[in-house]
Amino acid sequence: MATLNKLILIGHLGADPEMRYTADGKSVTSFRMATTHRFTTSKGEAREETDWFRVTVWGRQAEQCNQYLKKGQQVYVEGRLHAREWQAQDGQNRTSLEVTANSVVFLGRPSGAASFPEEGDIVPDDMPFDP
């Protein structure tokens, strides 16, 4: 039987992206993004819950994300979800939600942005599928 791991997120960057290169020269960019769910409790209280994700982008799209994305900018991401668990310095078990992006679409400009890619500048097919 076939399986599927596909995640779609729309949220805001929590920090500027960070780009690096693998030993064989592939570009990879990582950034943190947040999604917020707003709701009203049964008692009428307004609440919100924010989830944080670490997104990894590969290839030409990684270079474009590094060049054009900035902290606070809204972004649409499609990809595969991974949950990574580790033990923090304080001894507590932690979980990180990580996404390997297949597609990243820039939805809004950060405050004071001078340049922004045009719609045809982003080529999602340049993304390798094996990180």
Residue 107 lies in a domain: no
pLDDT digits (tens, 9 = 90+) for 57-112: 999 999 999 999 999 999 999 999 998 898 989 999 988 889 999 999 999 766 54
DSSP letter at 67 equals: H
Global pTM reads: 0.73
Triad 48, 104, 82: Cα angle to 5°: 65
DSSP letter at 63 equals: H
DSSP letter at 62 equals: H
Contacts of 63 (CB under 8 A, 6+ apart): 19, 27, 29
Residue 72 lies in a domain: yes
Across 16-30, 58-72, 112-126, least confident range: 112-126
Domain of residue 7: give its range. Answer: 1-14+58-84
**CA 131, CA 127: separation in Å to the nearest integer?**
9
Residue 36 lies in a domain: no
Number of domains in the chain: 1
